[in-house]
Each structure stands twice: as structure tokens, then as C-alpha cells.
Chains A and B, each alone.
Chain A
Amino acid sequence: DTEVTQTPKHLVMGMTNKKSLKCEQHMGHRAMYWYKQKAKKPPELMFVYSYEKLSINESVPSRFSPECPNSSLLNLHLHALQPEDSALYLCASSQDRGTGNTIYFGEGSWLTVV
């Protein structure tokens, strides 16, 4: 089973709302990732967690706040977003951050900020 599950699939939120995107995997993977993909563009890395610790933050604005409560779960907390933050948010996982490991993606959460 190589499944990464993301919820919700679609989210519409106002600029003053607080919401969260959730990601779950049960493959025993210890590295998890958040990517952002704007329309007609390739995915862009946002955050990398390794063994539940944040190891990479690609200069993402603080209105995006990641959290890794345990080795199976990864959250992305959203607050005071702007309409330009509307995008597909992708979660991924791999066994660990060692080279040569396969990274598996979820189907993504479509976010619309109004």
C-alpha cells in the first residue's frame, strides 16, 4: 500500500478564516513533505519534515504553519491567507530523507481563498 491520504479534497475559505489541511500515511515513512502547485505550474516545495522535526522551510510565509503531531500525520494550518494562495496543496512521504527513496504523493487538497 503506497497511499497518502489528504483531507479535505476541496476547501473554500475567507481571508480571515483559520483552517487546516490534513495528511496521513500508514507506510511507516519518517519523511513528509508539503508542496504547493499553482494552475499550469509545477509543484513547489514548501516544507520537509524528517522524524517529526521540521528540516526544511522554503521561505514560506508565516500564514502557513506546518505541524507533524506524530509519524503518520502532517497538518498545514492556514490563517489570514490571500486570494493568491489559492492552489493545489500536495502532501508526500518517503521512507526517510536518504537518497534513492521513492516519494509518494497524495491527491492533493484544492484550496480557494475568497
Chain B
Amino acid sequence: DAKTTQPPSMDCAEGRAANLPCNHSTISGNEYVYWYRQIHSQGPQYIIHGLKNNETNEMASLIITEDRKSSTLILPHATLRDTAVYYCIVSGEAGNMLTFGGGTRLMVKP
């Protein structure tokens, strides 16, 4: 599966949009982009995933560039409870499984 690159940490003001970038320049045609988050001491929580098109659900929006080499997860109105480590994962070449990278530690501040 393709590797991803994320900034190790980001801050966001409460109530503002949090935009988390991910680079996956080696992604292949049948690989999906997944986003998970992990709040301290809990299991990873699924947020959203997509193949080519932008996706939106009740938690977040996923914007994938046309060349698919990067994506952005958008939390439209961040709250303190969104403080977590966010993982961007590319999966599909080796069947459905997730290889986690370092992730981005998002700190939402009042």
C-alpha cells in the first residue's frame, strides 16, 4: 500500500474549520484514502474514506486532488472533543487492511 505523509501536529481554534493535509504521491488507481482518528486511550474511530470524488458525511469532508496525490480532511467546526491523532491511510493494493503512519496530532484550543 502507498505511504502517506502528514504534519506531526497542528493547532486549531475552537469553532473554526480544521484542515488536515495528507500527501500520498505514490497512490495507485484502486487504492482508497481513509481517515481515522484516535482519542487518547480509545480505539481508532472511522471518519471517512474516498477513491476519487470528494466525500462528505456528518463528521467531516474529504477533498481529494484531481491527480489523487494528496487529500485534505476538513472538520467544519472543530470542538475541544475533536482533539485527537488523525491518521490518513491509503489502502487497497493488498486487500482491505490498514497500515497506520505517524498521523497528525490535532489540538483544538478554546
Interface residues of A (CB under 8 A from B): 2, 4, 31, 33, 42-45, 48, 55-56, 88, 90, 92, 94, 96-108
List A contacts of B36 (CB < 8 A): 105
The answer for the CA separation of A42 and B91 in the assembled complex, in Å, is 16
Bound together, the chains give a CA A44 to CA B91 distance in angstroms of 14
The B interface is mostly helix, strand or loop, or mixed, namely: loop
The A-B contact count (CB < 8 A) is 63
Given known contacts A108-B42, A108-B43, A103 and B96 CB-to-CB distance under 8 angstroms: yes
Check if B96 sits within 8 Å of A100, measured CB to CB: yes
A45-B96 CB under 8 A given contacts A99-B32, A102-B49: no
Q: Enumerate chain A residues within 8 angstroms of B98, measured Cβ to Cβ.
A: 43, 45, 92, 103
Chain A residues in 8 Å Cβ range of B91: 99
A48 vs B30: C-alpha distance when bound (angstroms)? 20
Contacts of A45 in B (CB 8 A): 97-99
Q: Interface stretch among B18-26, B60-68, B100-108? A: B100-108
Q: Is the CB of B44 within 8 A of A105?
A: yes
Contact B96 A42 (CB under 8 A): no
Asked whether B103 lies within 8 Å of A96 as measured between CB atoms, the reply is no
Q: How far is the CB of B96 from chain A (nearest CB, A)?
A: 5
Nearest A residue to B99 by beta-carbon distance?
A: A45
Contact A99 B44 (CB under 8 A): no
By the criterion CB–CB under 8 Å, are A33 and B97 in contact?
Answer: yes
Which of A42, A97, A104 has the largest number of chain B CB atoms within 10 A?
A: A42
Given the interface pairs A99-B95, A105-B43, A108-B43, the reply to whether A43 lies near B100 with Cβ below 8 Å is yes
Nearest Cβ on chain A to B91's Cβ, whole angstroms: 7
* CB contact under 8 A between A31 and B96, given known A99-B91, A100-B51: yes
> Which residues of chain B are near A56, meaning CB under 8 Å?
97
Question: How far does the Cβ of B97 sit from chain A's closest Cβ, in whole Å?
Answer: 6
